[in-house]
Copies of this chain bind each other. A is one copy, B any other.
Amino acid sequence: MDDVTTRIETALETALRTATGAGDCPPQLAAAVRHAVFPGGGRVRPRLCLAVAAACGDDAPAISTAAAVSLELLHCASLVHDDLPCFDNAATRRGQPSVHYAFGERLAVLVGDGLITLAFEQLAHHTQSHPERLVALTKIVGRSVGISHGIVAGQAWECEPRVELTDYHRQKTAALFAAATEAGAAAAGQPSQLWYTLGEQLGLAYQVADDIRDVASTPEAIGKPIGQDVAHQRPSATTDLGLDGAMARLKTLVETASASIPHCPGADRLRQLIQHEMRRLLPAELAQWVITE
């Protein structure tokens, strides 16, 4: 594992051990929470958060780590609830049984609720020395999952008769990416707003890539069923724009993201990191086409 991976996995491990290890936590809930968080996927959001924190000086690494953990826990929570029978009814996730499939629907609902709560607790447990950063981080993280602009809103658009594709993706996926870049800056005590566009564009790019994978990959390669967007009649970039159109959109988004990085000592290093991460996320033939160095 590289240093960043170790930092993220160790912090997630500690957060879960503290939350479930007290003896008051029902054993099945503890197991289900663990199942939702380990093994992880790409840990894309916490990596992005820490990359921005590093570019901003990362003067309080305990806070940026907590922010990274918080984002990943919220992401895991959204996956668990997304997989529920009333939504995607997905039997597998990250190559293993989904939480409700392995532990039942009740525990899956509770795991999501518990992880959302734990995400906010994590922020508070590591900001005692800089409480004003907790105010900023809670607002950033809250907005990215919440009712008005966040994951919950994005998901709820699926229940509406009409939805604008970009609005939907902006809330369902890009909001948490934007929170990742903003939280990285806020955790390092820097103004966060300049970092919004980077996260938002990367998030939209990631969602388009996900839509492309849903039609152009295999269940083995992505660890979950394919063809879900069509099966659930969900808005999708490939349905809307065709495969070529979706690829062109992806390229534009990644370029806009890269160009938006604010002037700071770590800007060049961050730009390289982002290209590296995007390459890691995309199937090889896509990466070559989208990322131009």
Residues of A within 8 A of B (CB): 18-22, 24-30, 33, 77, 81, 84, 86-87, 104-107, 109-110, 112-114, 116-118, 120-121, 123-125, 127-128, 131-132, 134-135, 138-139, 142-143, 145-153, 155-160, 167, 171
Contact = CB atoms under 8 A, between A and B. Distances in A.
A253 to B, nearest CB: 20
B134 A29 contact: no
A77 B113 CA distance: 9
Given A84-B109, A124-B139, A153-B25, A147 B118 contact: yes
Contacts of A22: 148-149
A138 B120 contact: yes
A153 to B, nearest CB: 6
Number of copies: 2
Contact of A29 (B87, B109, B147): B147
A124 B134 contact: yes
Contacts of A28: 156, 159-160
Contacts of A151: 113
A26 B131 contact: no
